[in-house]
A and B are shown apart, each in its own frame.
Chain A
Amino acid sequence: MVYIASWDDFLEKSVQLFRSDPEKTRYSMKYRHCDGKLVLKVTDDKECIKFKTDQAQDAKKMEKFNNIFFTLMARGPEADISEVGGKEQAEAQPVKKGRGRKQ
């Protein structure tokens, strides 16, 4: 099992793996509350990469990772994930300003 130390590396390789074989690639997460450990695994049954942690800050990073993968897997490998948070902002932008002054 290949454990990757850098989060950004893990993220990039995971997206690459998925885009190269969307039919086979899957993302697994294992959480053990009794040990306080979290392990992420992405594999296409040929290559496998993993990331393990016991830090609360990595749970936040994993949240973003989840958002990215939900988007990729629901919409397809062609989905645009450039800042998954950016999508929500883009939707909020077309809000019209208030009406003119009262006269």
Chain B
Amino acid sequence: MVRLQPDPFLNELTNMFERTTEKGSVWVTLKHSSDKSKLKRDKMKTAGEKIEYKCLVRATDGKKTISTMVGVKDHQRFQSSYATILKTRMTALKKRERKDKRKAADSDKKQDPKKQSSAVKPSN
């Protein structure tokens, strides 16, 4: 488990996505964490100290794991960079099928009136 700063973490995450394009998965986990052991946290609670929480982000490709802690001040910036990476990388998902079905349905409808109009003429 490699603990990185937020920016190197994002770079390494991008590399992970690149490596797993042909084969493999990328797991990203988010957790609310204080980075302190349970024992220390209990001690701090009884002492009345305020425990500082951050967001722990972990990423793995099944072989290598990286992690980072994102604090309150960095989280907006981190989440927008993270969103950009995902948008760029998650291109294998299917586009909306409904639109294709609608287009197919529309083209069928267009053909039908023609058939109807041609059917109407002989009756006149």
Chain B residues near A32: list those with CB within 8 A.
Answer: 20, 24-26, 92
What secondary structure prevails in chain B residues at the interface with A? mixed
Q: Evaluate contact between A26 and B31: CB separation under 8 angstroms.
A: yes
B-contacting residues of A (Cβ < 8 Å)?
18, 22-23, 25-36, 38, 53-59, 62-63, 66-67, 69-77
Shortest beta-carbon distance from A86 to chain B in Å: 13
Give Cα A54–Cα B65 distance, bound, in whole angstroms: 25
Q: List 30 A-B contacts (CB under 8 A).
A: A22-B32, A26-B30, A27-B30, A27-B31, A28-B27, A28-B28, A28-B29, A29-B27, A29-B29, A30-B26, A30-B27, A33-B22, A33-B89, A33-B92, A34-B21, A36-B93, A54-B93, A55-B93, A56-B93, A56-B95, A58-B93, A59-B86, A59-B90, A63-B87, A67-B79, A70-B55, A73-B31, A74-B55, A75-B72, A76-B32
B17, B25, B27, B79: which contacts A66 (Cβ < 8 A)?
B79
Chain A residues near B70: list those with CB within 8 A.
Answer: 70, 74
What secondary structure prevails in chain A residues at the interface with B? mixed
Interface string of B12-51 (1 = CB under 8 A from A): 0000010011111111111110000000000000000000
Q: Evaluate contact between A74 and B86: CB separation under 8 angstroms.
A: no
Shortest beta-carbon distance from B17 to chain A in Å: 7
Most chain A CB within 10 A, of B54, B82, B92, is at B92
Q: Evaluate contact between B83 and A63: CB separation under 8 angstroms.
A: yes
Q: Evaluate contact between B17 and A33: CB separation under 8 angstroms.
A: yes
| B96 to chain A: closest residue by CB | A57
Q: Evaluate contact between B83 and A67: CB separation under 8 angstroms.
A: yes
| A26 to chain B: closest residue by CB | B31
Give Cα A55–Cα B90 distance, bound, in whole angstroms: 10
| A69 to chain B: closest residue by CB | B30
- The 7 tightest CB contacts between A and B, nearest first, are A74-B75, A36-B92, A73-B55, A26-B31, A73-B32, A74-B55, A56-B93
Give Cα A63–Cα B70 distance, bound, in whole angstroms: 17
Q: Evaluate contact between B71 and A29: CB separation under 8 angstroms.
A: no
| A59 to chain B: closest residue by CB | B90
